[in-house]
Chain A
Amino acid sequence: GQQLNQSPQSMFIQEGEDVSMNCTSSSIFNTWLWYKQDPGEGPVLLIALYKAGELTSNGRLTAQFGITRKDSFLNISASIPSDVGIYFCAGHPPGGGSNYKLTFGKGTLLTVNP
């Protein structure tokens, strides 16, 4: 089946620094989604991308859908302590429809030192 390679696995940064993480796939995706999960909570959708080349921002977060449709990155600018958590990329294969399962990356654990 399809796999998503998400990197890095973990990051330790200082408050105020910018962060970048990415996901790559062995096959194309129609949709890329980025989620954040706080400890003991469910993932929260941060950004959804629908077109190759699309660049979307949500506050300090920016994500892009790669031109090849096989990758996506998420950037966080000027990190703050509440950015701590696990960030997951997820994607939808071509075909669409509500039954289509998401494929998840393994997550990036972000730690922000005040």
Chain B
Amino acid sequence: GAVVSQHPSRVICKSGTSVKIECRSLDFQATTMFWYRQFPKKSLMLMATSNEGSKATYEQGVEKDKFLINHASLTLSTLTVTSAHPEDSSFYICSAARMGLGGDNEQFFGPGTRLTVL
């Protein structure tokens, strides 16, 4: 159990285009999903927290108009990188939260999406 999928796994786009990344929890309902960005050989950097049916909460320094998040259902969240530029090239990873035994959430990660903007 606790499988999270992400699509696409890899995308190459031209500068100025928008790219949508989907994150799905396949076998559980996730009221909260998280979006991370990871640079090579670095830890995960949280971008935003996404709650079903409400606006996402963005971390300081993350442009909400640049990274649009929609959490339409308990199993699906999407991240849209609008007007992508080469500096947006990165590895984007989502996670879906499920309540753990200790009362805190356990986060299960998707396989990631490698975005390359030319």
Q: Which residues of A come within 8 Å of B, CB atoms?
A: 30-31, 33, 35, 40-45, 48, 50-51, 88, 90, 92, 96-102, 104-107, 109
Contacts and interface: CB of A to CB of B under 8 A. Distances in A.
B72 interface: no
Contacts, number: 76
Given A45-B109, A90-B107, A101-B49, 7 more contacts: A40-B91, A40-B112, A42-B95, A43-B44, A98-B97, A99-B32, A107-B43
A42 B104 contact: no
B18 interface: no
A45 B105 CA distance: 12
B99 A98 contact: yes
Interface of B: 2, 4, 6, 31-32, 34, 41-44, 46, 49, 51, 57, 91, 93, 95, 97, 99-112, 114
Determine chain A's interface SS by DSSP, over half rule.
Answer: loop
A62 to B, nearest CB: 18
Q: Could you say which of B46, B101, B107, B112 has the most chain A C-beta atoms within 10 Å of its C-beta?
A: B107
Determine chain B's interface SS by DSSP, over half rule.
Answer: strand
B43 A106 contact: yes
A31 B98 CA distance: 13
A42 B99 contact: no
A97 B105 contact: yes
Nearest to A50: B102
Contacts of B51: 99
Given A35-B109, A42-B93, A44-B109, A97 B43 contact: no
A31 B114 contact: no
A48 B2 CA distance: 14
B110 A42 contact: yes
A96 B34 contact: no
